Amino acid sequence: MFRYYRSQIELPFVLDTWFKFRYLTLNLFTDIVSDESLAFYVGLGGSLVTLNADKDFISITESIFVPELALGGEYFLSRNYSVFTELSFQTGSVNIDLDESLSLMGIRFIIGVTMYLLNQEGK
């Protein structure tokens, strides 16, 4: 999965600076409980995060690996469609200066719909 964010962050002696975050994420999931209409799952993964910021005389480009834990549930509407909800946690930080670090700790909540292109047997 690829994600892109922009956020304005106040840096010492520079004031407000726009940071660009690019996430390239890989997760592995396994079902904890599953039946014909409902499944609960857990996942582990990580993201390669690249951040960029430019302002005046400051230029920052850093990359870091950030681990991630995901918990979710999925309700199967039919053989080809499901509704899911997922809660994921990530933690990490990146050094942006000799004295400053930027925390990449966060929680993400997702609600979505999945359409399966191939029929799922047993669901």
pLDDT tens per residue, range 44-62: 999 999 988 877 777 778 8
Q: Is residue 24 part of a domain?
A: yes
Q: Is residue 76 part of a domain?
A: yes
Q: Is residue 120 part of a domain?
A: no
Q: Is residue 60 part of a domain?
A: yes
Q: Which residue has the tokens 């304005």?
A: 8
Number of domains in the chain: 1
Q: Is residue 41 part of a domain?
A: yes
Would you give the end-to-end CA distance of the chain in angstroms? 25
Among 102, 104, 31, 35, smallest CA distance to 70 is for 31
Q: Is residue 74 part of a domain?
A: yes
Question: How far is it, in rounded angstroms, from Cα 100 to Cα 79?
Answer: 51
- pLDDT grade, residue 120 (50/70/90)? low
**Mean pLDDT across the chain:** 85
Residue 122 clears pLDDT 60, i.e. is over it? no
Whether the pTM exceeds 0.75: the reply is no
> How confident is the model at residue 57, as a pLDDT?
72
What are the pLDDT digits (tens) for 63-103?
899 999 999 999 999 888 999 999 999 998 887 765 777 78
Domain that holds residue 12: 2-115
CA distances from 38 to 11, 33, 90, 123 (A): 46, 8, 26, 9
Amino acid at 53: A
Q: Is residue 121 part of a domain?
A: no
Among 15, 17, 11, 7, smallest CA distance to 97 is for 11
Phi/psi for 12 (5° steps) reads -60, 135
What are the pLDDT digits (tens) for 3-56?
888 878 776 666 777 889 899 999 999 999 999 899 999 999 999 999 888 777
Q: Is residue 52 part of a domain?
A: yes
Q: Kindly give, in sequence order, each residue whose CB lies less than 8 Å from that of residue 5, ignoring residues fewer than 6 positions away.
A: 20, 21, 23
